[in-house]
A and B are shown apart, each in its own frame.
Chain A
Amino acid sequence: MSLYVTELRRLAKRRLTRVMLVLLVLGLTGIVTAFTFSSHKLSPAVIAQAQAESDANFRDAVKSWERSIVECDAAKARGEQTEDRYGPNCGRDWQPTADMFDPKWNLPYQFDFRGEFGIFIAVFAGAVALFAFLIGASFVGAEWSSGGMMNLLLWRPKRLTVLGTKLAAVLTILTGVTVVLGALWTLAFWLIGTYRGTTAKVTSGVWQSAGISGLRALGLILAVGAVAFALASLGRHTAMALGVAVGVGVVSEIGIRVATTIAGVRFGDRWVLSTYALAWFQKQWKLVDYRSCDFSQGECTPKEMLVTWQDSALVFGIGTAVVVVAAFWMMRRRDVT
Chain B
Amino acid sequence: MSAVLEIEGLRKTYKSRRRGVRNALDGFDMRVEAGQVHGFLGPNGSGKTTTLRTLLGLIQPDGGRMAILGQEVPAALPTVAGQVGAIVESPQFFPHFSARDTLSLLAGAGDVPAVRVDEVLELVGLRDRADERVKTYSLGMKQRLAVASALLKNPKLLILDEPANGLDPGGIREMRTLMRTLAESGMTVVLSSHILGEIQLICDEVTIISLGRRVAAGPVEQVLAQHSHGGVRVRLDAAEDLAAAAELLGRAGVAVTRHPDHLMLAGVDKPATVSRLLAEQHLYVSELAPVAVDLESVFLEITATAPVPGQHRQVDQSAKIGEPGHAGGTTGGWGA
Binding site for B on A (CB under 8 A): 2-3, 5-7, 9-10, 13-15, 142, 146-148, 150-158, 335-337
Closest beta carbon of chain B to A8's beta carbon, Å: 10
Q: Name the residue among B77, B78, B101, B108 with the largest chain A CB count within 10 angstroms.
A: B108
Q: Mark B55-68, 1 if CB is under 8 A from A, else 0.
A: 01111100000000
Task: Determine which of A7, A15, A336 lies in contact with B59 in the assembled complex, contact meaning CB atoms within 8 Å.
Answer: A336
In the complex, what residue of chain A is closest to B101 when comparing beta carbons?
A: A13
In the complex, what residue of chain B is closest to A149 when comparing beta carbons?
A: B58
- List residues 71-113 of chain B with CB under 8 A from any CB of chain A: 74, 77-78, 81, 84, 86, 88, 91-97, 101, 105-106, 108-111
B91 touches A156 (CB 8 A): no
Q: How many residues of chain B get a CB closer than 8 Å to chain A's CBs?
A: 29
In the bound complex, what is the Cα–Cα distance between A154 and B149 (angstroms)? Answer: 11
Closest beta carbon of chain A to B145's beta carbon, Å: 11
Task: Determine which of B56, B96, B101, B106 lies in contact with A157 in the assembled complex, contact meaning CB atoms within 8 Å.
Answer: B56
In the complex, what residue of chain A is closest to B159 when comparing beta carbons?
A: A154
In the bound complex, what is the Cα–Cα distance between A14 and B95 (angstroms)? Answer: 10
A154 touches B88 (CB 8 A): yes
Task: Determine which of B56, B92, B108 lies in contact with A154 in the assembled complex, contact meaning CB atoms within 8 Å.
Answer: B56
Q: Which residues of B contact A337 (CB under 8 A)?
A: 53, 58-59
In the complex, what residue of chain A is closest to B96 when comparing beta carbons?
A: A15
7 A-B residue pairs with CB within 8 Å:
A154-B86, A154-B88, A156-B110, A157-B77, A158-B78, A335-B53, A337-B59
B108 touches A5 (CB 8 A): yes
Q: Which residues of A contact B91 (CB under 8 A)?
A: 147, 151
In the bound complex, what is the Cα–Cα distance between A150 and B57 (angstroms)? Answer: 10
B58 touches A155 (CB 8 A): no
In the bound complex, what is the Cα–Cα distance between A157 and B88 (angstroms)? Answer: 14
In the bound complex, what is the Cα–Cα distance between A147 and B110 (angstroms)? Answer: 17
Q: Which residues of B contact A10 (CB under 8 A)?
A: 105
Closest beta carbon of chain A to B89's beta carbon, Å: 8
B88 touches A148 (CB 8 A): no
- List residues 112-163 of chain B with CB under 8 A from any CB of chain A: 149, 153
B108 touches A153 (CB 8 A): no
Q: Which residues of B contact A153 (CB under 8 A)?
A: 56-58
Q: Which residues of A contact B81 (CB under 8 A)?
A: 154-157
Closest beta carbon of chain A to B56's beta carbon, Å: 6
B53 touches A336 (CB 8 A): yes
Closest beta carbon of chain B to A241's beta carbon, Å: 18
B86 touches A2 (CB 8 A): no
Closest 8 CB pairs of A and B: A6-B108, A147-B92, A336-B58, A157-B77, A335-B59, A157-B57, A155-B110, A6-B109
In the bound complex, what is the Cα–Cα distance between A9 and B102 (angstroms)? Answer: 11
B109 touches A148 (CB 8 A): no
Sample of 7 further A-B pairs with CB below 8 A, known A10-B105, A151-B106, A156-B110? A2-B111, A146-B92, A151-B149, A155-B110, A155-B153, A156-B109, A157-B77
In the complex, what residue of chain B is closest to A6 when comparing beta carbons?
A: B108
Q: Which residues of A contact B78 (CB under 8 A)?
A: 156-158
Given A9-B108, A155-B110, A157-B77, check contact A148 B93 (CB 8 Å): yes
In the bound complex, what is the Cα–Cα distance between A36 and B123 (angstroms)? Answer: 58
Q: Which residues of A contact B53 (CB under 8 A)?
A: 335-337
Q: Which residues of B contact A6 (CB under 8 A)?
A: 105, 108-109
Q: Which residues of B contact A152 (CB under 8 A)?
A: 106, 109
A9 touches B105 (CB 8 A): yes
Closest beta carbon of chain B to A144's beta carbon, Å: 11
In the complex, what residue of chain A is closest to B59 when comparing beta carbons?
A: A335
In the bound complex, what is the Cα–Cα distance between A261 and B149 (angstroms)? Answer: 59
In the complex, what residue of chain A is closest to B85 when comparing beta carbons?
A: A154
Closest beta carbon of chain A to B15's beta carbon, Å: 13
In the bound complex, what is the Cα–Cα distance between A148 and B149 (angstroms)? Answer: 12
Closest beta carbon of chain B to A236's beta carbon, Å: 13
In the bound complex, what is the Cα–Cα distance between A6 and B102 (angstroms)? Answer: 11
B96 touches A150 (CB 8 A): no
Q: Mark B199-228, 1 if CB is under 8 A from A, else 0.
A: 000000000000000000000000000000
Q: Which residues of A contact B59 (CB under 8 A)?
A: 335-337
Closest beta carbon of chain A to B78's beta carbon, Å: 6
Task: Determine which of A3, A7, A148 lies in contact with B94 in the assembled complex, contact meaning CB atoms within 8 Å.
Answer: A148
Task: Determine which of B74, B96, B108 lies in contact with A14 in the assembled complex, contact meaning CB atoms within 8 Å.
Answer: B96
Q: Which residues of B contact A157 (CB under 8 A)?
A: 56-57, 74, 77-78, 81
Q: Which residues of A contact B74 (CB under 8 A)?
A: 157
In the bound complex, what is the Cα–Cα distance between A14 and B97 (angstroms)? Answer: 8
B109 touches A2 (CB 8 A): yes
In the complex, what residue of chain B is closest to A15 when comparing beta carbons?
A: B96
A155 touches B109 (CB 8 A): yes
In the bound complex, what is the Cα–Cα distance between A148 and B106 (angstroms)? Answer: 10
A150 touches B105 (CB 8 A): no
